[in-house]
Amino acid sequence: MNRKLIWLLVLFFFGMNFVVLAQSKSEKEDETTTSQVTNAPASENESVAKKEENSKPDSKNDSKPVSEAGPKSEKNSSVSAAQANETEAVNSTSSSSSTLANNEKSVSEEKFPKGEKKDGSEKVTPANSSGKSTASGPVMVEVNIFVQSIGKLDFNAGKYVAEFELQMTGPDENTPFSTDFELYGGRIIKKEEQKSDDPATKIFRVEIENDLDSDFKRFPWDSQDLSIQFYNPSKSVKKQIYEVMEIATGEKRIDEKVKLAGWIIKEDEPYVEEDSSLDSRKKYSVITFPITIKRLRFAATMKVFFPLIIMTLISFLALSIGAGAAVNRLTILTGTLLAAVMFHLNAASSIPQIGYLTLLDKVFFGSYISFLLNLILTIVIMKYNEKKLEDKVKTYYGLAIWLVPVATGVLWMLAFTGII
């Protein structure tokens, strides 16, 4: 019987480690895939564009004469003249059709600029990647940021502080544009204009206090959104539109020196969208620079889940105690249960009060059910032992040895995989 218990404990321990490692591996694969897509070299896109340009027909070849052979005798002179007239007619028709096509193309480009969807979708990257505006359309302003610090992360207050360098570039030095901007979901603490060598570029040193949209459903394996969003309150999309400034391959918008203890900082591709929630009568161009922080999974596991696994294994060891010493078995179980409750409260105190269960809560509740089941079976064994019913004692003793570890493992699996 003791050998069976030892094998169950070994299988349980390695099974839990397997689940934790599998979750960590899947997270790393997702991060690797995202980074590969985000950091795809621009040369591939350029080569595709060149192939498309080379595949287009040359307009010079379209005006090739119908007949290249000249008349060889006086009898063919009238035929050559007729062919020449026909060639001129064909050329004039081709020229008019190409002019019509160019006009249609220009109208189409005005109606649906590059980067804008024909279905009217609002989440778009504005047109004119070169930064130039149309004669009657809105001014296109390229925007980029370089985050230099992130700190004062306060989940109880739902705030964090960040400093970054903001760069705005207009179409050219002769086209004025508004440099007014407001933070979407926070406040600007400090804004200082810096010197710029380019007359069409404005640079600001900005310090902000931004709101946190916290999500602790997967705590302590959670990730949080620290995205920075801002807009121009004085210019609607009819007057000025933001667009994402392109950066060189391999460059980042977050300084490598920016660190948060216990977290991994990850940046995603910025995007621009139109928003009317600020004023129902107008739409404003809102630019978003996504920043995500993820808690270090190995450190969180060793600090939170590993002590719980040890306490659960101690409660399993109590199963090896014989029916004659059931009181000692009961003492071990109650002690580990109280320790688990205190540890749960201490671990949950690091996050604010929330109205839903976290991964931590679900795993601990599974452990509480395990302790409770173990206690019930222990009390049943004690009762039958007092009545000298050895057959019943052996039956429930054997049931407890395999039922408690299996039930605990199933509950933990359901919690870790997100089924419950």
First-last CA distance in the chain: 33
Phi, psi of 214 (to 5 degrees): -75, 145
pLDDT for the residue 281: 87
- Kindly give, in sequence order, each residue whose CB lies less than 8 Å from that of residue 50, ignoring residues fewer than 6 positions away: none
Residue 23: its pLDDT value, please? 56
Q: What angle do CA 184, 190, 192 make, to 5 degrees?
A: 110
pLDDT the model gives residue 277: 83
| Structural domains of the chain in order of their starting residue, each with its CATH number | 2-28+298-416 (1.20.58.390), 123-295 (2.70.170.10)
Question: What pLDDT score was predicted for residue 8?
Answer: 58
Burial of residue 55 (number of CB atoms within 10 Å: 0-12, 13-18, 19+): exposed
- What per-residue string of b and e applies to 10-35 under the rule 16 or more CB within 10 Å gives b? eebbeebeebbeebeeeeeeeeeeee
Q: Classify strands 139-154 and 240-244 as parallel, antiparallel or unpaired.
A: parallel
Tell me what pLDDT residue 300 has.
92
Answer for the pair 371, 344: CB distance below 8 angstroms, yes or no: no
Q: Which of 12, 10, 20, 13 is nearest to 359 (CA)?
A: 20
pLDDT confidence of residue 188: 96
Overall residue count recorded for the chain in this entry: 420
Phi, psi (rounded to 5 degrees) for 329: -65, -40
208 forms beta bridges with: 162, 188
Per-residue model confidence as pLDDT tens for the chain (420 residues)? 455 555 556 566 566 655 555 555 555 555 444 444 444 444 444 444 444 444 444 443 443 433 333 433 333 444 344 444 444 444 444 444 444 344 444 433 443 343 344 333 344 444 444 444 445 689 999 999 999 999 999 999 999 999 999 999 999 989 999 999 999 889 999 999 999 999 999 999 999 999 998 999 999 999 999 999 999 999 999 999 999 999 998 899 999 999 999 999 999 999 999 998 878 889 999 999 999 999 999 999 999 999 999 999 999 999 888 878 888 889 999 999 999 999 999 999 999 999 999 999 999 999 999 999 999 999 999 999 889 899 999 999 999 999 999 999 999 999 999 898
Q: Are strands 159-169 and 263-267 parallel, antiparallel or unpaired?
A: unpaired
Residue 191 backbone dihedrals phi, psi, to 5 degrees:
-140, 115
Residues forming beta bridges with residue 167, ordered by sequence position: 144, 203
Q: Please give the backbone phi and psi of residue 86, each rounded to the nearest 5 degrees, phi first.
A: -65, -40
C-alpha 394: how far from its chain's center? Answer: 54
pLDDT of the residue at 55: 46
Residue 117's pLDDT is what?
A: 40
CA distance 97 to 94: 5
What's the one-letter identity of residue 227? S
As a whole number of angstroms, the distance between CA 356 and CA 44 comes to: 46
Hey, what amino acid is at 420? I
Measured from the Cβ of residue 126, the count of other Cβ atoms closer than 10 Å reads 22
Strands across the sheet containing 228-231: 182-183, 228-231, 284-289, 271-275
Q: Is the peptide bond before 220 cis (omega within 30 degrees of 0)?
A: yes
Q: How far apart are CA 266 and CA 292, in angstroms?
A: 5
- Three-state secondary-structure class, residue 148: strand
Question: What single DSSP character describes residue 74?
Answer: G
Helix (H, G, I), strand (E, B) or coil at 297: helix
